[in-house]
């Protein structure tokens, strides 16, 4: 998972969201912009990583894998209290 922090400081942005998305696609990982100050997407990031680790600990290599990208996307769609930039 690739996280971009300080999403609450959009006027001082150094890296464009599109560049973060592109890099995440190159690595085959989900991308989230977060804000430690406002809490935006912080819990979602930790929950997604925890679910991935739990899945990996309890499953064999030949079983279908838990898809962290699918989990993140489904949670972003369900949440109406946080914005994703």
Residue 62's pLDDT is 64
Q: Domain spans of the chain?
A: 2-78
Distances (CA, A) of 64 to 4, 41, 68, 71, 79: 29, 27, 13, 14, 26
pLDDT digits (tens, 9 = 90+) for 3-57: 999 999 989 989 999 999 999 999 988 899 999 999 999 999 999 999 888 887 8
Among the listed residues 83, 55, 57, the one whose alpha carbon sits nearest the alpha carbon of residue 70:
55
User: Whole-prediction pTM value?
Assistant: 0.63
Residue 18's pLDDT is 94
Residue 42's pLDDT is 95
**Right CATH for 2-78 from 3.40.50.2300, 3.40.50.300, 3.30.70.380, 3.20.20.70:** 3.40.50.300
């Amino acid at each position: 998972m690739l996280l971009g922090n300080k999403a609450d400081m959009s006027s001082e942005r150094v890296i464009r969201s599109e560049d973060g998305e592109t890099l995440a696609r190159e690595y085959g990982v989900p991308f989230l912009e977060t804000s430690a100050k406002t809490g935006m997407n912080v819990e979602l990031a930790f929950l997604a990583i925890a679910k991935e680790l739990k899945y990996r600990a309890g499953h064999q290599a030949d079983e279908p894998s838990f898809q962290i990208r699918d989990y993140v996307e489904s949670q972003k769609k369900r949440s109406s209290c946080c914005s994703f930039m």
